[in-house]
């Protein structure tokens, strides 16, 4: 089967957690003997920020870590979409794809035989429905939603039996228990996650930074988009800041700490109960103990 995937980025996970699952999906499809083509815009903000901070080396490192994966970077203003879709059996369009591209692919589905699915892995369908109205999905065959609450929102809009829940999951070829580098750990607590604007500022203080300070733990945090006041809070609590960490390196980091935590962003703890981030599955797949802030596991994951 020929599968064509459109997404924001496969090669960069700088503040782009969707790359984690998409890499696993593409890798699994290839391992099962399918022909997989992934397309991402050449000007993807995640790639631009990654290169802006670290140069081109992380791109080369990605291909070294995932030698089976390739991503075709296209110019949305000068792109032969018909050629990209030629011979496809299944087309998956991720929800961070530009609305104009989403619409253009839908129009071609109306005169094609391949199946077309919209892949929604964000809370915007519930928290910012006005943004999602930019996506014209009339010609799509269905929606893959990463949680029951998101799927239910699409059903309320008339999709009914054309919505399927497809939870994010960890690729266990990458995320697996690893031996520590030495007999002594690097620290007690490690947390890998981005700041998240104002979606969990208070929660990170209450469930991560303050306990580290009060308990005198040796802790390190990895992630991006930490504002100056956040970095000051980390320093005051004695937390080491490690900056961006390539997602595929998480297993080796987890192996050298005693435990990690899950601090869900506010929309996932309130409006999207039952939908964890993929980092929960990645941590558990690596065998590190995980303590979660309050979160309602309504789907029994």
Query: Could you tell me the CA-to-CA distances from 74 to 43, 56, 84, 114, 243 in Å, in that order?
Result: 8, 18, 10, 22, 29
Burial (CB count <10 Å: 0-12, 13-18, 19+), residue 113: exposed
CA distance 79 to 189: 46
Structure tokens at 73: 């970077």
Q: Given this model, what pLDDT does residue 77 score? A: 85
Q: Given this model, what pLDDT does residue 110 score? A: 87
Residue 99 and residue 76 in contact, taking contact as beta carbons nearer than 8 Å:
no
Residue 103 and residue 136 in contact, taking contact as beta carbons nearer than 8 Å:
yes
pTM passes above 0.85:
yes
Q: What are phi and psi of 179, to 5 degrees?
A: -75, 145
pLDDT tens digit sequence for 71-128: 999 998 899 999 999 999 999 999 999 999 999 999 999 899 999 999 999 877 777 7
pLDDT at 264 over 90: no
pLDDT at 32 over 80: yes
Task: List the single range of 11-20, 43-52, 139-148, 188-197 with lowest mean pLDDT.
Answer: 188-197
Q: Given this model, what pLDDT does residue 18 score? A: 94
Task: Compute the average pLDDT of residues 245-269.
Answer: 92
Half-sphere exposure of 279 (CA within 13 A, CB side): 27
Q: What are phi and psi of 54, to 5 degrees?
A: -125, 0
The beta strands (E) that lie in the chain are given as 2-6, 35-41, 71-74, 90-94, 115-120, 142-145, 163-165, 187-192, 219-222, 240-243, 257-262, 290-292
Q: Given this model, what pLDDT does residue 223 score? A: 96
Of 87, 131, 135, 146, whose CA–CA distance to 112 is shortest?
Answer: 87
Confidence of residue 228 (pLDDT cuts 50, 70, 90): very high
Task: Compute the average pLDDT of residues 231-242.
Answer: 97
Give exposure, 44-61, as e/b (b: 16+ Cβ within 10 Å).
bbbbebbeeeeeeebbee
First to last CA, the chain: 30
Contacts of 120 (CB under 8 A, 6+ apart): 95, 143, 144, 145, 146, 150, 154
pLDDT tens digit sequence for 163-200: 999 999 999 999 999 999 888 899 999 999 998 777 78
Contacts of 56 (CB under 8 A, 6+ apart): none
Q: Given this model, what pLDDT does residue 257 score? A: 98
| CA dihedral over 156, 159, 162, 165, signed as positive or negative | negative
Q: How many residues does the chain have?
A: 301
């Amino acid at each position: 089967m020929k599968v064509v995937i459109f997404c924001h980025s496969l090669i960069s996970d700088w503040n782009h957690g969707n790359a984690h699952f998409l890499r696993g999906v593409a890798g699994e499809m290839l391992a099962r003997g399918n022909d997989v083509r992934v397309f991402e815009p050449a000007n993807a903000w995640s790639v631009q920020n990654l290169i802006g901070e670290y140069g081109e080396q992380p791109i080369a490192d990605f291909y070294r870590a995932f030698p089976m994966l390739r991503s075709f970077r296209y110019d949305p203003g000068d792109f032969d979409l018909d050629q990209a879709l030629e011979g496809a059996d299944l087309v998956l369009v991720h929800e961070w794809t530009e609305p104009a591209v989403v619409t253009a692919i839908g129009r071609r589905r109306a005169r094609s035989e391949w199946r077309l699915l919209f892949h929604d892995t964000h809370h915007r369908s519930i928290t910012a429905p006005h943004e999602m109205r930019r996506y014209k999905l009339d010609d799509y065959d269905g929606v893959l939603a990463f949680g029951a609450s998101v799927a239910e929102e699409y059903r309320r809009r008339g999709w009914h039996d054309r919505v399927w829940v497809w939870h994010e999951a960890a690729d266990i070829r990458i995320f697996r228990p690893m031996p520590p580098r030495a007999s002594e750990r690097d620290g007690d607590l490690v947390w890998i996650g981005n700041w998240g604007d104002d979606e969990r500022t208070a929660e990170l203080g209450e469930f991560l930074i303050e306990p580290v300070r009060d308990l005198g733990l040796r802790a390190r945090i990895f992630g991006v988009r930490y504002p100056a006041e956040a970095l000051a809070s980390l320093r005051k609590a004695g937390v080491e800041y490690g900056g961006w960490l390539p997602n595929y390196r998480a297993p080796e980091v987890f192996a050298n700490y005693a435990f990690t935590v899950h601090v869900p962003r506010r929309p996932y703890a309130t409006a999207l109960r039952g939908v964890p981030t993929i980092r929960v599955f990645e941590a558990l797949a690596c065998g590190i103990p995980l303590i979660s802030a309050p979160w309602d596991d309504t789907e029994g994951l």
